[in-house]
């Protein structure tokens, strides 16, 4: 009854050559580009080095070390393991065990080339917030699956994190992208929010210690505070809202929960101000204190804002064996309300204003993008996490994205170029440009 699980165990990979992939079906991208296939009893990966590295964490390699990858997660479906025949079913009786993914190889390579150029840990994901199809998903660091490294105790520090898909399995201090959560709470609980102004002089004492801002903004309203990412305004809003309302907003959006990704659950984010003092509560409103978020989680949240408040579960499986489609079909396309429609609309408006008023509307080519950047201060002599999250309003390119570069610097400077490359290439994939 548990034959598939048995066949997929790491200690049974020896039952066939190439880590159990000797007779496995092929893995294709959305356009039929072969990402992994077997020929002459050898498992081969795409001839393009950037594509191979970009899709390492999505496709996997011959090993089972990347547990969330397709070739690890769905190995029994790829190999056609059968309770009666095992892996030795006659070829004449074998059904197709190919798997087609939703990702676009060129889009993934474009994003990966920019992300990998920083030589930092990071992640970038772009998905269709209407259908749930993941168009681009890349994680660094990685390696070439065609020539995997021999990792030993002596060199393991050099390859730290290569087996982890940061898109789904890591969480990071968010910095100012968390202001979307604070903004949602403020929109729903402060009636005169859009009539107010605040004063920002670069720092303000709250709860006995200073809250600092990167600029002296002077008199500023809510929309301007989001566009210019004013820490003072969002710190004051968090304190005014209080721990209970801030927590309720974070819980409703799903910060402390996992999102379904086919048969995978994302890493949970974190928001807990139950023991926070006034100053810590203020910092939590700007994405510091003990806040944490996951990249896929943030893409889904942005997709919900774009989608009138309702999220759509992501998927990277376009087609495959019957058993596989039945397995992922349980959650495919499932939606959940994260925001009410009015809140989603207002968040979208202020995110759009952030691009048009502050960053410039030519960043993403001919896409109409709503976005927020973040710079998550980590401490311990590390540089900040650089973030950019958002979505496009275009009907033919309903794309939501999240990009993070660890130990980097300002979000716009480091995550911005990754997001631009990923979104432009993903839009070309949806619009049918080769």
| 355 vs 374: CA distance, rounded Å | 14
User: What pLDDT, on the 0 to 100 scale, is given for residue 348?
Assistant: 97
* Model pLDDT, residue 434: 45
| Average pLDDT of the segment spanning 317-329 | 72
pLDDT of residue 15: 46
Handedness of CA 247, 248, 250, 254 (dihedral sign): positive
Q: Is the pLDDT of residue 14 over 50?
A: no
Q: Token pair of 384, please?
A: 């900040």
Specify the pLDDT at position 381.
Answer: 87
∠ CA 191-355-254 to the nearest 5 degrees?
55
Report the pLDDT value the prediction gives residue 43, as an integer from 0 to 100: 93
pLDDT of residue 413 exceeding 50: yes
**Which pLDDT score is estimated for 96?**
54
Average pLDDT, the chain: 90
pLDDT in tens, 141-173: 999 999 999 988 888 888 999 999 999 999 999
pLDDT at 83 over 50: no
C-beta of residue 420 within 8 angstroms of C-beta of residue 390: no
Distance CA 52, CA 108 (A): 10
Contact 266, 259 (CB under 8 A): yes
Residues 191-208: pLDDT tens digits?
999 999 999 999 999 999
- Contact between 283 and 317 (Cβ < 8 Å): no
> Nearest 10 degrees: CA dihedral of 246, 310, 323, 4?
-10
SS3 state of residue 400: strand
Q: What is the pLDDT of residues 228-281, one digit of tens each?
A: 999 999 999 999 999 999 999 999 999 999 988 888 899 999 999 999 999 999
Which of the 8 DSSP states describes residue 383? P
């Amino acid at each position: 009854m548990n034959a598939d699980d048995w066949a997929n165990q790491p200690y049974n990979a020896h039952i066939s050559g190439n880590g159990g992939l000797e007779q496995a079906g092929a893995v294709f991208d959305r356009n039929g580009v072969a990402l992994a296939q077997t020929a002459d009893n050898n498992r081969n990966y795409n001839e393009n080095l950037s594509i191979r590295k970009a899709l390492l964490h999505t496709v996997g390699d011959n090993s089972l070390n990347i547990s969330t990858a397709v070739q690890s997660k769905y190995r029994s479906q790829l190999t056609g393991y059968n309770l009666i025949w095992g892996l030795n079913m006659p070829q004449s009786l074998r059904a197709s065990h190919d798997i087609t993914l939703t990702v676009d190889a060129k889009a993934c390579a474009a994003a990966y080339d920019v992300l990998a150029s920083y030589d930092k840990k990071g992640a970038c994901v772009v998905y269709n917030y209407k259908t749930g199809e993941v168009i681009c998903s890349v994680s660094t660091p990685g390696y070439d699956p065609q020539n995997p490294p021999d990792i030993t105790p002596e060199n393991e520090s050099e390859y730290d994190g290569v087996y982890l898909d940061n898109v789904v399995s890591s969480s990071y201090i968010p910095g100012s992208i968390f202001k979307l959560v604070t903004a949602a709470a403020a929109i729903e609980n402060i009636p005169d929010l859009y009539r107010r102004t605040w004063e920002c002089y670069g720092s303000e004492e709250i709860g006995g210690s200073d809250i600092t801002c990167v600029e002296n903004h002077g008199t500023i309203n809510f929309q301007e505070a989001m566009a210019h990412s004013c820490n003072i305004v969002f710190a004051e809003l968090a304190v005014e809202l209080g721990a209970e309302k801030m927590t309720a907003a974070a819980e409703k959006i799903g910060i402390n929960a996992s999102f379904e990704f086919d048969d995978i659950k994302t890493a949970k984010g974190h928001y807990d101000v139950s023991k926070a003092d006034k100053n810590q509560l203020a910092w939590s409103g700007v994405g510091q204190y003990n806040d944490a978020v996951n990249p896929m989680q943030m893409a889904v949240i942005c997709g919900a804002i774009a989608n009138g408040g309702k999220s759509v579960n992501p998927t990277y499986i376009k087609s495959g064996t019957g058993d596989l489609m039945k397995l992922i079909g349980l959650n495919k396309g499932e939606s959940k309300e994260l925001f009410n429609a009015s809140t989603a609309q207002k968040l979208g408006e202020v995110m759009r204003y952030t691009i048009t008023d502050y960053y410039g509307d030519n960043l993403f080519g001919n896409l109409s993008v709503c976005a927020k950047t973040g710079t998550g201060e980590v401490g311990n002599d590390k540089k900040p996490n650089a973030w950019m999250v958002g979505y496009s309003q275009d009907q033919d390119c309903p794309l939501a994205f999240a990009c993070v570069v660890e130990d980097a610097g300002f979000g716009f400077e480091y995550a911005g170029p990754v997001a631009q490359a990923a979104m432009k290439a993903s839009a070309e994939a949806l619009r049918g440009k080769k």
